[in-house]
């Protein structure tokens, strides 16, 4: 009742204070009837309020993600929120798109939301386009139909000459969600392979490789090829940032599917550790959850300029613990 009174207040500060207190209410009383009623009130605030209030409602929704499934009147809630997408204000549309993206888990197949996201990707306002990318990534992770429908659009934007590089870097991670069927995953892998080989700049290589790894992790059959690609970059690419990214991705794949690592993969990783001039990268490689042979580890210790026993003990603990 106190929060409802705050929402009805004519003062913006009191309304904002009431909105931001809703997550505590949900945490203390996680009952579907209360949560449903509260979200409908928040939807009214979102529909009738200004952009600052809408942003507050968006933050509350994102903080209360685990309670979204308790909304009983989903249609009515989404209807009130979605009405703002027709606003003439691009900022209001952008906040609405982020709101829809945050609701993707409970409305994955809403065609009107899909259509609005596709339209907003063609917007001339950068804030709206970035919000559309966020929403598209959220829906791609939840909906096979949306992912299949948006894949060609995203590919065209990434390869388009008129698309700014910073926008391409935000579009590429969306491809990690294109794993719902074999054809979709295959076309996404081909595009990522083209990006990795055609755009050698450090940011592009890092984003493309990591997205490639995330896509491969969703399909176990692609992990061996991805391991070879990452090890190739770890061995041949001189850039420290790229090496650090490949080490982190190798750790991810080792945790995801350690049984797919073969002896040659582990041997290559150890050889890279022996050859690296950076001790931080050496330790990072040896902390990868694939156990190298003790002889290789001893060779690594002898390659250190200062053979300190505490460092050797740390390596053994990191690798074998």
Domains in the chain with CATH codes: 1-142 (1.25.10.10)
Q: Give the list of residues 6+ apart from residue 67 with CB closer than 8 angstroms, or none.
A: 26, 30, 35
| In contact, 58 and 99? CB cutoff 8 Å | yes
Residue 267: which pLDDT band, with cuts at 50, 70 and 90? confident
Across residues 61-66, what is the average pLDDT? 93
Q: What is the pLDDT of residues 94-147, one digit of tens each?
A: 999 999 999 999 999 999 999 999 999 999 999 999 999 999 999 999 999 999
| Rounded Cα gap, residues 5 and 18, in angstroms | 8
pLDDT band at 295 (very low <50, low <70, confident <90, very high): very low
pTM of the model: 0.83
Percent pLDDT > 90 in the chain is: 58
Q: Kindly report the average pLDDT of the chain as a whole number.
A: 87
**49-53 contacts: CB < 8 A, separation 24 or more?**
49/15, 50/12, 51/89, 51/91, 51/92, 51/95, 52/12, 52/16, 53/12, 53/15, 53/16, 53/19
Can you give the pLDDT at residue 220?
A: 74
Output 160 or 220, whichever has higher pLDDT.
160
More confident residue, 157 or 263: 157
DSSP string, 73-84: -HHHHHHHHHGG
DSSP string, 198-246: H--SHHHHHHHHHHHHHHHHHSGGGHHHHHHHHHHHHHH---HHHHHHH
Confidence band of 209 (pLDDT split at 50, 70, 90) = very high
Helix (H, G, I), strand (E, B) or coil at 68: helix
Which of 95-109, 266-280, 304-318 shows the lowest mean pLDDT across its residues? 304-318
276 contacts: CB under 8 Å, gap ≥ 6: 243, 282, 285
């Amino acid at each position: 009742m106190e929060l409802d009174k705050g929402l009805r207040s004519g003062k913006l500060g009191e309304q904002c204070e009431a909105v931001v207190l809703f997550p505590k209410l949900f945490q203390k009383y996680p009952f579907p009837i209360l949560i449903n009623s509260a979200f409908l009130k928040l939807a009214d605030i979102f529909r009738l309020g200004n952009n600052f209030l809408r942003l507050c409602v968006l933050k509350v929704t994102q903080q209360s993600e685990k309670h979204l499934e308790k909304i009983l009147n989903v249609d009515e809630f989404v209807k009130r929120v979605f009405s703002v997408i027709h606003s003439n204000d691009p900022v209001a549309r952008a906040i609405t798109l982020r709101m829809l993206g945050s609701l993707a888990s409970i409305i994955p197949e809403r065609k009107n939301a899909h259509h609005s996201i596709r339209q907003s990707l063609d917007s001339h306002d950068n804030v709206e386009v970035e919000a559309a990318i966020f929403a598209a990534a959220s829906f791609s992770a939840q909906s096979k139909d949306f992912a299949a429908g948006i894949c060609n659009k995203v590919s065209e934007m990434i390869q388009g000459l008129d698309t700014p590089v910073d926008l391409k870097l935000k579009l590429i991670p969306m491809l990690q969600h294109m794993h719902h069927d074999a054809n979709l995953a295959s076309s996404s892998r081909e595009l990522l392979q083209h990006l990795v080989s055609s755009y050698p700049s450090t940011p592009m290589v890092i984003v493309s490789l990591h997205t490639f790894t995330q896509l491969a992790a969703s399909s176990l059959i692609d992990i061996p090829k991805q391991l070879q690609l990452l090890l190739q970059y770890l061995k041949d690419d001189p850039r420290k940032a790229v090496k650090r990214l490949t080490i982190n991705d190798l750790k991810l794949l080792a945790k995801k599917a350690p049984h797919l690592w073969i002896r040659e993969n582990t041997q290559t990783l150890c050889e890279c550790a022996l050859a690296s001039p950076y001790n931080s990268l050496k330790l990072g490689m040896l902390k990868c959850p694939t156990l190298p042979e003790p002889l290789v580890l001893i060779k690594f210790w002898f390659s250190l300029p200062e053979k300190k026993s505490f460092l050797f003990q740390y390596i053994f603990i990191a690798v074998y613990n």
